[in-house]
């Protein structure tokens, strides 16, 4: 990881000081994610004073001619307060009940706060399955784009009422993954993830007074995510630093700048949209990708993995070529022709993703073979390429 570090604070997290160049600032389209711990202040009920301040900042962006989308947690906490439930919500059916009750309370609070500024809001509840097919992805994208064109603030949350992916460990994680997918979906310039901690540190700053603040992370690897991603630093949210780093890695790979910052810093959203230095900044290393490639890169539709040899890695990365069966050394998972797959190098690190021309069973039969043998082995031929270059995104 290439990063700039700041002297640690012995008392509490502190934002970065000094100029940090943001090549795309000021930002015109911003996705803001706020978690449960901020929205409740650890109290188990919505903190309307905090929410009013949050809304005020988004109103300021609107007055500046900028667009904002809000990815907001808090429905389950609001439902818990409304029903007087004190037990933990780890049980999925209870969580869905609390979300069903609390979502209306959450939206009513936002609606009233924005209405005082003559701004209309819209609710968008999403689950992972909503984004797994191309048509659903485009429908959601078109709806969000239409709302923004009409000056509406979309307020987005995971649909806990119907989402059962958590049973398989595939939930969005207190909306951390969801906000990255939304930023990808709408071609956002900046993703702001707000939390109790004011950025990324070398350790949990509330537990370790020697923890060093990291103002800038120029490149984030899977190893960095595992090393620096700790458990949740709050008692209410489902996310943690690890899920935030995974979200940052996803968003920056698709052309979105990311900042993890403290949600209680005055005017933090407005300042970040102007390009000022607060929290930890993750600059994107790529330009905005066209829609289909952004969808592939989101990873929500990935059905399996293809492992390739070093020669194939060079062909894909350096020579911009398609993936041929000769370069395939392994196949993991079950997928069909037309499904999205991850492409891994020999160290099993993801280096690309794309749309497979062959099903996993077919690919197992032709891996390592020359393309001219495909018809002989399979009895049919969908093309010489396992993944065509036009249907691939290099990471």
Computed on alpha carbons and rounded to an integer, the radius of gyration of the chain in Å comes to 22
Claim to verify: residue 91 and residue 28 sit in the same structural domain: yes
Q: Is the peptide bond before 26 cis (omega within 30 degrees of 0)?
A: yes
Digit-coded pLDDT (tens) for 152-182: 999 999 887 665 554 344 455 568 889 999 9
pLDDT at 209 over 70: yes
State the CB neighbour count (10 A cutoff) for residue 369. 15
Q: How far apart are CA 216 and CA 25, in angstroms?
A: 15
Claim to verify: residue 244 and residue 369 sit in the same structural domain: no
Claim to verify: residue 45 and residue 97 sit in the same structural domain: yes
CA distances from 8 to 13, 219, 229, 232 (A): 8, 21, 18, 21
One-letter-per-residue 3-state SS of the chain: CEEECCCCCCCCCCCCCCCCCCCCCCCCEEEEEECHHHHHCCCCCCCHHHHHHHHHHHHHHHHCCCEEEEEECCHHHHHHHHHCCCCCCCCHHHHHHHHHHHHHHHHHHHHHHHHCCCCCEEEEEECHHHHCCHHHHHHHHHHHHHHHHCCCEEEEEECCCCCCHHHHCCCCCCCHHHHHHHHHHCCCCEEEEEECCCCEECCCCCCCCCCCEECEEEECCHHHHHHHCCCCCCCCCCCCHHHHHHHHHHHHHCCCEEEEEECCCCCHHHHHHCCCCCCEEECCCCCCCCHHHHHHHHCCCEEEEEEECHHHHHHHHCCCCCECHHHEEEEECCCCCCCEEEEECCCCCEEEEEECCCCHHHHHHHCCCCHHHHHHHHCCCCCCCCECHHHEEEC
pLDDT at 343 over 60: yes
Claim to verify: residue 267 and residue 173 sit in the same structural domain: yes
Digit-coded pLDDT (tens) for 376-391: 999 999 999 999 988 8
Q: What is the mean pLDDT of the chain?
A: 85
The domain tally of the chain equals 2
Claim to verify: residue 271 and residue 351 sit in the same structural domain: no
Q: How far apart are CA 295 and CA 275, in angstroms?
A: 27
pLDDT, mean of residues 322-332: 97
Claim to verify: residue 288 and residue 330 sit in the same structural domain: no
Identify the residue with better confidence: 172 or 228: 228
**% of residues, the chain, pLDDT over 70:** 86
Provide the pLDDT for residue 24.
67
Provide the pLDDT for residue 23.
59
pLDDT band at 254 (very low <50, low <70, confident <90, very high): confident
CATH of the domain at 318: 2.30.130.10
Identify the residue with better confidence: 291 or 46: 46
CATH of the domain at 273: 3.40.1160.10
pLDDT, mean of residues 327-351: 93
Claim to verify: residue 148 and residue 289 sit in the same structural domain: yes
Provide the pLDDT for residue 1.
53
- Strand pairing report for 302-308 and 340-344: parallel
Identify the residue with better confidence: 208 or 299: 208
Domain boundary (293, 326, 342) is at 293
pTM, two decimal places:
0.75
Domain boundary (293, 321, 348) is at 293
Stretch among 49-63, 141-155, 228-242, 344-358 having the lowest mean pLDDT? 228-242
Claim to verify: residue 112 and residue 249 sit in the same structural domain: yes
Provide the pLDDT for residue 374.
96
Domain boundary (259, 293, 327) is at 293
Digit-coded pLDDT (tens) for 11-23: 443 333 444 456 5
Claim to verify: residue 364 and residue 252 sit in the same structural domain: no
pLDDT band at 108 (very low <50, low <70, confident <90, very high): very high
Residue 314: domain span: 301-394
């Amino acid at each position: 990881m290439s990063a700039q570090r700041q002297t640690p604070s012995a008392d509490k997290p502190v934002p970065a000081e000094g100029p940090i160049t943001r090549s795309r600032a000021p930002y015109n389209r911003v996705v803001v994610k706020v978690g449960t711990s901020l929205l409740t202040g650890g109290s188990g009920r919505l903190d309307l004073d905090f929410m009013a301040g949050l809304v005020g900042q988004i109103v300021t962006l609107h007055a500046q001619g900028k667009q904002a989308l809000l990815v907001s947690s808090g429905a389950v906490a609001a439902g818990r307060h409304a029903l007087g439930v004190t037990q933990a919500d780890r049980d999925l059916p209870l969580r869905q009940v609390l979300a069903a009750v609390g979502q209306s309370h959450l939206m009513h609070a936002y609606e009233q706060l924005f209405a005082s500024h003559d701004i209309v809001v819209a609710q968008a509840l999403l689950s992972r399955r909503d984004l797994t097919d191309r048509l659903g992805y485009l429908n959601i994208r078109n709806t969000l784009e239409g709302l923004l064109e009409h000056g509406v603030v979309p307020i987005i949350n995971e649909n806990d009422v119907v989402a059962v992916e958590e049973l398989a460990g595939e939930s969005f994680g207190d909306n951390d993954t969801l906000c990255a997918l939304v930023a990808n979906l709408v071609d956002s310039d900046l993703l702001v993830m707000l939390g109790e901690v004011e950025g990324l540190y070398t350790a949990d700053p509330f537990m370790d007074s020697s923890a060093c603040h990291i103002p800038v992370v120029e490149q984030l690897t899977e190893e960095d995510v595992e090393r620096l991603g700790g458990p949740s630093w709050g008692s209410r949210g489902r996310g943690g630093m690890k899920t935030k780093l995974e979200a940052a890695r996803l968003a920056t790979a698709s052309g979105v700048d990311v900042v993890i910052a403290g949600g209680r810093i005055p005017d933090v959203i407005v300042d970040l949209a102007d390009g000022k230095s607060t929290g930890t900044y993750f600059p994107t290393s790529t330009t905005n990708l066209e829609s289909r490639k952004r969808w592939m890169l989101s990873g929500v539709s990935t059905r399996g993995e293809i492992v390739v040899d070093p020669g194939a890695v060079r062909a894909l990365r350096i020579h911009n070529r398609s993936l041929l069966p000769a370069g395939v050394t392994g196949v993991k998972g079950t997928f069909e022709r037309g499904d999205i797959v991850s492409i891994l190098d020999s160290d099993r690190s993801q280096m690309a993703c794309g749309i497979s021309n062959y099903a996993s069973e077919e690919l197992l039969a032709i891996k390592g073979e020359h393309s001219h043998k495909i018809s002989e082995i399979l009895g049919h031929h969908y093309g010489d390429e396992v993944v065509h270059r036009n249907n691939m995104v290099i990471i």
